[in-house]
């Protein structure tokens, strides 16, 4: 059909060739002197076609920065391959620059390259958009890379050079293992395997940079998949989150310190109650000691009674020690330590600490502790502080003149993946309109209150991935709930 017609008419070949945007050419493989160029050549560089036939026109018009490399590449490849392509810049008549993709085929004679032919293609537009892309990528405050399925870097942005001190041109072509080193590669390996199996990955980690400074980063890997699903490589986006993580750490530290200070303040307010708790065992010790001495010094000594007295002294001394230990544990340490906690034991301990306060306020404290509670991973001191604060708040809500019914109930219960502590008082209750606001700092319903207690409580609970809320009773009182997650 059409093929023989085209073959039979070389003129049609010429028309087709010379109306294409590609510039056809032919040259002597020894001298690089053109023996033919298409008429489009004039449009490409702005020189008349005749000028192209000057001895070393091509060599002269290659951009000086690319000349050496282009010639070397060309000389090498025309011996090694029958066809190849390479890219370089040429200088136009007006001095402007054009990016060329040169597609070459080689004709050999007697084992030497004889004639080379090919097309010059203006790829300036593509190069420009690549440059724009590179510019954008370099300007981002993130490390961006494209890694192929053989785990070789195909593209990296400037951040790699800034972070690792290695020029981007040297990174490209290296494998992950070569570039990152064995140790870092080992920790990264599993993530790379996952992304290369087609999974999108997000993770947070840290590493020590070449300067020895610990840096935190958030990484996301996106697989590059063909339509058929085969993974060709992946894009990697790594954000330096060091300053964010440091700010979070600082905020946490500040919160722990505030919690500590408020704990000390609470303990100060409870000093009287604590004194009562210490006085009880001390009084018993004094009485028992006096009694024991008398039983032994009597005309008919009673060693049995004396022994009982001594045994009781030992018990009471232990009890006093417990009080002191509980106080000290609440006062010490502004660095939280997460341990497995039995919340029933914790509630009992806090209730014991407040025993004296409850009595002097004429409040009955009832514990309704759930059975078989799972343990939670929490900082014991901070959780005690929350329970202490909520109980004292309840006490204060019931300490107004003329309140007859004064009962505080502390309950614990297992919930789905959590343990709940609820603290219910029979006090003045909460205005439903401010039930949510009371957890905000500086919001208080207490005369002379600072309004920090509940906001500190909530921030402690939230730092434990728990939640806290309040509701008000139908007729009297309020209930505060806190929920702490059980380890999954």
Give residues in contact with other proteins (CB under 8 A): 272, 275-276, 279-288, 290-292, 294-295, 298, 305, 308-309, 312, 315-316, 319, 356, 358-360, 362, 364
SS3 of 87-110: the string is EEEEECCCCCEEEEEEEEEEEEEC
Of 90 and 292, which CB lies nearer to other proteins in the complex structure?
292
Token pair in block for residue 297: 């010094």
Nearest approach in angstroms of CB 403 to other proteins is 15
> From CA 193, how far away is CA 295, in angstroms rounded?
82
Give the β-pairing of 34-37 and 23-28.
Answer: antiparallel
Q: Could you count the other beta carbons within 10 Å of the beta carbon of residue 249? A: 11
Nearest approach in angstroms of CB 251 to other proteins is 40
**Orientation of helix 303-331 relative to helix 242-269, angle to 10°:** 140
- The residues facing 429 across adjacent strands are none
Of 358 and 378, which CB lies nearer to other proteins in the complex structure?
358
Nearest approach in angstroms of CB 280 to other proteins is 5
Q: Where are the alpha helices (DSSP H) in 113-231?
A: 124-139, 158-164, 168-171, 176-180, 182-196
Of 292 and 484, which CB lies nearer to other proteins in the complex structure?
292
Of 89 and 406, which CB lies nearer to other proteins in the complex structure?
406
Residue 9 three-state SS: coil
Of 262 and 288, which CB lies nearer to other proteins in the complex structure?
288
Nearest approach in angstroms of CB 272 to other proteins is 6
Nearest approach in angstroms of CB 316 to other proteins is 5
Give the DSSP H or E segment for 201.
strand 201-208
Cβ distance 102 to 89 under 8 Å?
A: no
Contacts of 169-176 with C-beta under 8 Å, sequence gap 24+, read 171/145, 175/150, 175/151, 176/147, 176/151, 176/152
Nearest approach in angstroms of CB 318 to other proteins is 11
- The residues facing 382 across adjacent strands are none
Of 207 and 359, which CB lies nearer to other proteins in the complex structure?
359
Nearest approach in angstroms of CB 473 to other proteins is 23
Token pair in block for residue 422: 């609820």
Of 283 and 332, which CB lies nearer to other proteins in the complex structure?
283
């Amino acid at each position: 059909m059409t093929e023989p017609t085209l073959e039979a008419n070389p003129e049609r070949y010429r028309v087709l060739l010379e109306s294409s945007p590609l510039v056809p050419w032919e040259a002597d493989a020894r001298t690089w002197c053109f023996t033919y160029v298409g008429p489009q050549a004039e449009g490409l560089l702005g020189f008349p076609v005749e000028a192209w036939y000057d001895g070393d026109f091509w060599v002269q018009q290659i951009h000086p920065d690319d000349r050496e490399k282009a010639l070397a590449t060309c000389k090498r490849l025309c011996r090694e391959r029958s066809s190849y392509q390479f890219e370089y810049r040429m200088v136009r008549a007006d001095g402007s620059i054009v990016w060329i993709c040169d597609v070459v085929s080689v004709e050999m004679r007697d084992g030497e390259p004889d004639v080379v032919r090919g097309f010059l293609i203006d790829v300036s537009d593509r190069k420009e958009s690549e440059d724009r892309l590179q510019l954008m990528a370099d300007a981002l405050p993130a490390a961006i890379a494209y890694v192929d399925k053989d785990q070789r870097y195909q593209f990296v942005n400037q951040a790699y050079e800034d972070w690792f001190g290695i020029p981007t041109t040297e990174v490209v072509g290296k494998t992950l293992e070569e570039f990152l080193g064995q140790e870092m590669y080992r920790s990264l390996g599993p993530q790379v395997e996952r992304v290369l199996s087609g999974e999108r990955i997000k993770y947070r980690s840290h590493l020590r940079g070449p300067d020895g400074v610990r840096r935190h980063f958030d990484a996301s890997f996106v697989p590059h998949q063909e339509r058929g699903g085969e993974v060709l490589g992946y894009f990697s986006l790594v954000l330096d989150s060091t300053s964010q993580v440091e700010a979070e750490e600082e905020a946490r530290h500040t919160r722990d310190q505030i919690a500590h200070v408020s704990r000390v303040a609470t303990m100060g307010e409870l000093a009287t109650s604590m004194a009562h708790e210490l006085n009880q065992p001390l009084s018993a010790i004094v009485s028992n000691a006096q009694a024991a001495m008398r039983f032994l010094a009597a005309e008919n000594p009673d060693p049995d009674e004396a022994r009982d007295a001594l045994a009781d002294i030992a018990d009471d001394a232990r009890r006093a020690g417990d009080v002191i230990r509980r106080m000290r544990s609440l006062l010490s340490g502004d660095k939280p330590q997460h341990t497995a906690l039995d919340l029933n034991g914790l509630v009992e301990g806090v209730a014991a600490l407040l025993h004296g306060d409850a009595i002097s306020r004429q409040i009955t404290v009832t514990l309704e502790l759930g059975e078989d509670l799972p343990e939670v991973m929490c900082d014991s001191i901070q959780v005690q502080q929350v329970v202490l604060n909520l109980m004292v708040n309840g006490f204060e809500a019931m300490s107004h003149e003329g309140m007859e019914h004064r009962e505080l109930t502390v309950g614990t219960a297992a919930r789905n993946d959590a343990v709940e502590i609820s603290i219910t008082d029979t006090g003045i209750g909460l205005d439903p309109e401010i039930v949510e606001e009371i957890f905000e700092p500086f919001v208080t319903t207490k005369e002379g209150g600072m309004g920090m207690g509940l906001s500190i409580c909530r921030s402690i609970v939230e730092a434990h991935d728990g939640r806290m809320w309040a509701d008000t009773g139908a007729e009297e009182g309020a209930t505060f709930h806190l929920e702490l997650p059980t380890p999954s």
